Amino acid sequence: MAQISKRTTANGENRYDVRTRIGGRVIARTFNRRKDADNYATTLEADKLRGVVIDPRRARTPFMDVATA
């Protein structure tokens, strides 16, 4: 399940961190608005239930490497 935490930066601005676990790794993403963080977390959880979520770090593999494998 995605977890949203609020933090305040040094210059007083609010940021919202969304953390979740995908494929054994903790994935974190930061948003300026709570609404954006909520939308991301909801979409991510729905994709997990559908089985279509992928680890963003593993998605950086070039297509040619995937095709040859």
pLDDT in tens, 5-55: 999 999 999 999 999 988 788 989 999 999 999 999 999 999 888 988 877
The reported pTM is 0.75
Q: What is the structure's pLDDT at 1? A: 83
Question: What is d(CA 62, CA 65) in angstroms, rounded to the nearest whole number?
Answer: 6
Question: What is d(CA 6, CA 33) in angstroms, rounded to the nearest whole number?
Answer: 10
Question: What is d(CA 47, CA 22) in angstroms, rounded to the nearest whole number?
Answer: 11
Residues 25/57, Cβ–Cβ less than 8 Å: yes
